[in-house]
Amino acid sequence: MIPIEYQGMLAPFMEPPPTDVLGAARALGLAVYSTPLPAGISGVLARDPSYGTASGFVILVDENEPVVRQRFSAAHELGHYILHRDSIGERVEDNYMLRAAGMTSLQETEANRFAADLLMPREAVSLAMSEGFTTVDQLAARFNVSRLAMGIRLGLPT
């Protein structure tokens, strides 16, 4: 869920789909970099002033993963930044299952929900379906997300 105080700021990056994750991050003072990460790590949110971001934070995503996965990882880390910034410390590393040491299951669920709401807003998915995008493949392509992510958004068994 995107907190109400961020909805107006993020809305311009969500319409039309696909969401501009990099633009949303920049608007919040973060940068996103696609770079090689250690095996099993999909995303990192780090407090690192050397990147010169307004927030002092940077998001790193694994360049070896598909772009749709990188987008979800970046949105997930952005969710941690917005929702859990006070719990982060210096660095959060999320593994392939988007779980991180130091984060609770609830915090990880919240970051996943944030990412889904940012990348696949329910209203936008409904609108796309009314416009003829009716299969998981069509919707996943329209929103530039994985088939798995779109299937979960639609409530399909995984």
> For the chain, how many structural domains are there in total?
1
Confidence band for 96, pLDDT divided at 50, 70 and 90: low
Q: Report residue 84's pLDDT band, with 50, 70 and 90 as the boundaries.
A: very high
Give tens-digit pLDDT for 11-61. Answer: 999 999 999 999 999 999 999 999 999 999 999 999 999 999 999 999 999
Residue 61 within any structural domain of the chain: yes
Cβ atoms of 105 and 55 closer than 8 Å: no
What would the DSSP string read from start to end of 72-126? Answer: HHHHHHHHHHHHHHHHHTTEEEEETTS--TT--HHHHHHHHHHHHHHHS-HHHHH
Q: Would you say residue 100 has pLDDT above 90? A: no
Q: Which CATH number covers residue 30? A: 1.10.10
**pLDDT at res. 13:** 98
What is the pLDDT averaged over residues 132-143? 97
Question: Is pLDDT at 74 greater than 80 in this prediction?
Answer: yes
Lowest mean pLDDT among 78-82, 85-89, 99-103: 99-103
Q: Is residue 135 part of a domain?
A: no
- Is 81 part of any domain? yes
How many other CB atoms are found less than 10 A from the CB of residue 114? 24
Percent of the chain whose predicted confidence (pLDDT) is above 70: 99
Question: Which pLDDT band holds residue 124 (cuts at 50, 70, 90)?
Answer: very high
Residue 5 confidence (pLDDT): 96
Residue 130 lies in a domain: no
What does pLDDT average to over the chain? Answer: 94
At 146, list the tokens.
């994985």
- Is residue 30 one of the residues assigned to a domain? yes
Report the distance separating Cα 42 and Cα 65, nearest Å.
Answer: 8
Are β-strands 41-47 and 57-62 bridged in parallel, bridged antiparallel, or unpaired? antiparallel
What predicted TM-score, i.e. pTM, was given to this entire model? 0.94
Sign of the Cα torsion 17, 20, 21, 25 reads negative
Query: Domain range for residue 20?
Result: 4-120
Residue 113 within a domain: yes
Give the three-state DSSP class for 138.
Answer: helix
Find out whether 111 and 2 touch, Cβ atoms under 8 Å.
Answer: no
**Does the residue 15 lie in any domain?**
yes
Report yes or no on 16 lying in a domain: yes
52 phi-psi bin (left φ>0, alpha ψ -120 to 50, beta other):
left
